[in-house]
Structure 1
Amino acid sequence: MQRVAMVSMHTSPLDQPGTGDAGGLNVYVLELSRRLADAGIEVDLFTRRTSPSAPSSVDYADGITIRHLEAGPVRPVAKEALAELVPAFAAALAQTDDRAYDLIHSHYWLSGRASLMASRRWDAPLVHSMHTTARMKNLTLAVGDRAEPRSRVLGEEFIAANADLLIANTDAEASHLISAYGADSDRVTVVHPGVNLSTFRPDVTARAALGLNADAIVLAFVGRLQPLKAPDVLLRAVAVMLARNPSLRPRLVVPIIGGPSGAGPDVSLPGLVRELGIGDVVRLLPPLAHAELARWYAASTLVAVPSYSETFGLVALEAQAAGTPVVAAAVGGLRTAVREGISGLLVDGHSAEAWASALTRGIAQRERLAVGTRPHAAAFSWEATAARMIGAYECVTSASLIDEEMTA
């Protein structure tokens, strides 16, 4: 294994997670690429050019090059409209044949559809990570969210039928790909995402650095501000908690860290904060660089992840790596990312009352749960992820060589 083409059409690995379409996928692609490069594998990261100032290629780090392809207008385009640009991106990718690749690893369905042409032209196997699927999202829609279109479902079905290997984040996602998309079980493998254990770690100085009182009760949310991620669930739960126990108010701090999403309707949080009368405890913060974000994780009493759907939930893992228990929705990969009763609590449903009760329990059990956070997160290092991924890559390239020999 010498060279991999990593494809992320709809969002650049350089974009700031927590705003627009950037999120856990961006973190995943960059962190995986770094560990592959550490293992001696060259990685070319392909994404769509969205700015006239973006060069055709950027030497991001030793062994990693980011390559911007022209496909459609040279500006940001809403993710919902990007499907129309898949043919142009696919053609640009397929024509980039100045380097030989052992395989292509595409991320999200738009990249998968675009990468199939290059896979055939380059005679390189296609490994694909869905990250999310339309069918799963449509089963768990938040109030006010829009259903994914039939075209995406069909696109994902086509990828499931034609990719050489599908990478699932968890056993539950693997089962979903097989049952809902008809994927061949022999072409689905599970590789858990990881967490940067050096960046996200306990920090006893974090509260002082952020100007937080030592006895503050800090309930944090990190992520894009969209119905799917459900920051409103946390805010409504906080209002219930304060109604039940007004004495919490002087100590309560609720940082909401993230920006508006480029996909689907946004959540209007300032208006909701005013409506609920909790403006004195809520802090609306923009997306933060990892070093600053790590401080907030370490300074928090609990981190809430109330998403309606998550294939894994990197925020939950980052928080636990920083020594902070997580209260998360009992959906998708969060059941794997959070160890119930050991490193956090899982909540059935999204009612404000249920979440208020769970958060109250989490506060009371915080010290006990914190003991299990770092050990749980340590099982999900990016180094372990890369090692398992390289094993998967070698299996699919070996199988391709055998197929070639049999048809020769």
Structure 2
Amino acid sequence: MTTSPAPQPTVVVLSLHTSPLEDPGTGDAGGMNTYVRQLSRAQAALGARVRVYTRSETGERWEVDDRDVTVVGLPVGPPGATKEDLPGTTGDFGDAVLADLVAAGLTADVVHSHYWLSGLAAERLTCEACAGLPVGRLPLHAHTMHTLGATKNAELTGVGDWLPEPAGRLEAETQLLRTVDLAVASTPEEAEELLEQGAARERVTVIPPGVDTDTFRPLEPTRREAVREEVRGSLGLGPDALLVVQAGRWQEVKGQDVLVAAAEALAARAAAPVHVLFVGGPSGASGSDWLPARIVTSPARDRLHTRGAVPPAELAEILAAADVVAVPSRTESFGLVAAEALAVGAPVVAAHVGGLPRALDGAGLLVEGHEPAPWADALRAVLGDAALRDELAVRAARRGERLSWRDAAAAHLTAYGELAGGRDDA
């Protein structure tokens, strides 16, 4: 007698401030967009019904099928709003999601919110008074912070023009961590941060993110050389030039300023010309052109290049064309760009902060601090040693093979099931 597999849940995902359909690199679109999109696709591939809600910027409701994931945009809040403008809309967004589910005849088994704004919105679907459902039928509330306001305040105070996260965010995150059924961390270190902010240990689980290995994978040698020539040719680089790539929105947290200063030091001392390509764009709806302005005044400006946000397939080729991918972030809960660079087999030099040591897991070089001199030394060491670059590339590809969204999705579904089972037994 065969046993039928357990039915997979209906998972309602909230990504209020940014749509997972947007490619990361500008505005409010970052690694979280990739995380939500890929995790949702992987859960759907494992049999879950996944419905993602985000804000509509068109003023109208829209609905898109993304590889068996239904993505719905709801017109809540003003068009063009940044995440800083949205704390007052969380209740309206939650109510709109609940109304949309009722209209669709759907009941969520799990509501998984991403970032604190979505966490507040999720409370409208998971509390008895708001949702109008008996306790036994309320969906479980899972939450992924992605970043913690308290952590950012600790690591970024005094950096550039960065302003501390507001007290309202800190209070909301603490309250969320005390009430959610499941708090998902990317690393053990992040899990400890969640515990420090009030999460109950039995409700915290560690699930590393994955990599889209259909897109981010090592290229065949002939193809890799063609890609290298194409990317370098677009920058006007000579055959002896060395290329460092950094990808991310232009903001102090990503450390582009550190890389500019390191490039200036390398310009004076490196044996071969070192060029740096920054892939991404201004952060926030209004944005800031501080990075191009910094480059214009740099003595190494002829070796510093920018390119706007690009689709994942193009980013994969740019990373593969790099001699080194640099991740000088001042804080990272995990570091998806670093993971994607590893997956294409690129040597990675990253800051020893947050989840980056876990992401690299010995496959790249870590730099302590954010002073330009250590960064210039680390980049010089890798760029000046072809054998070391080859070794790091091999280690990177091996590490990348172990980062799977399917594994991450399965771990999430298992955690949901264990929570549901515990509730049924109570």
| TM above 0.5 | yes
Q: CA deviation at 1:265?
A: 7.0
Which residue in the other structure is 1:322 paired with? Answer: 344
Moved more, 380-389 or 204-213: 204-213
Three-state SS of the structure 1 residue aligned to 2:77 is coil
Q: CA deviation at 1:201?
A: 1.6
Q: Which runs of 5+ in 2 are unaligned?
A: 1-7
Q: What is the TM-score normalised by the length of structure 1? A: 0.93
1:62-141 equivalence runs, <5 A: 62=68, 64-73=69-78, 75-96=79-100, 97=102, 98-120=105-127, 121=131, 123-141=138-156
* Mapped partners of 2:22, 2:61: distance in 1: 15
1:35-46 equivalence runs, <5 A: 35-46=42-53
* Mapped partners of 2:194, 2:252: distance in 1: 24
Q: Which runs of 5+ in 1 are unaligned?
A: 404-408
* Mapped partners of 2:30, 2:295: distance in 1: 24
* Mapped partners of 2:191, 2:287: distance in 1: 29
Task: Report the AA paired with residue 84 of structure 2.
Answer: E
* Mapped partners of 1:161, 1:263: distance in 2: 32
**Structure 1 contact 207–299 (Cα < 8 Å) conserved:** yes
Instruction: Establish whether residue 27 from structure 1 lines up as the match of residue 34 from structure 2.
Output: yes
Aligned residues: CA RMSD: 1.6
1:185-196 equivalence runs, <5 A: 185-196=201-212
Moved more, 131-140 or 259-268: 259-268
* Mapped partners of 1:339, 1:189: distance in 2: 19
Instruction: Establish whether residue 248 from structure 1 lines up as the match of residue 272 from structure 2.
Output: yes
Task: Report the AA paired with residue 198 of structure 2.
Answer: G
Amino-acid identity (%): 39
Which residue in the other structure is 2:4 paired with? Answer: none
Q: 1:228 aligns with which of 248, 253, 258?
A: 253
Q: CA deviation at 1:398?
A: 1.5
Q: 2:420 aligns with which of 368, 391, 397?
A: 397
**Structure 1 contact 329–350 (Cα < 8 Å) conserved:** yes
* Mapped partners of 2:107, 2:92: distance in 1: 21
* Mapped partners of 1:151, 1:69: distance in 2: 24
Which residue in the other structure is 1:406 paired with? Answer: none
Q: CA deviation at 1:60?
A: 2.5
- Once the two structures are superposed, what CA deviation does each residue of 1:61-112 show, in whole Å capped at 9, x if it has no partner? 32x1111223222x12021111011121122123332301111110000000
* Mapped partners of 2:204, 2:347: distance in 1: 31
1:141-220 equivalence runs, <5 A: 141=156, 142-179=159-196, 181-203=197-219, 204=224, 205-210=226-231, 211=233, 215-220=240-245
**Structure 1 contact 71–88 (Cα < 8 Å) conserved:** yes
Which residue in the other structure is 1:387 paired with? Answer: 410
- Once the two structures are superposed, what CA deviation does each residue of 1:306-357 show, in whole Å capped at 9, x if it has no partner? 11110000000000101101111110011111134xx211111111111101
Three-state SS of the structure 1 residue aligned to 2:253 is coil
**Structure 1 contact 226–267 (Cα < 8 Å) conserved:** no
- Once the two structures are superposed, what CA deviation does each residue of 1:167-186 show, in whole Å capped at 9, x if it has no partner? 0000000011112x121100
Instruction: Establish whether residue 291 from structure 1 lines up as the match of residue 313 from structure 2.
Output: yes
Q: CA deviation at 1:42?
A: 1.1
Which residue in the other structure is 2:63 paired with? Answer: 57
Task: Report the AA paired with residue 86 of structure 2.
Answer: L
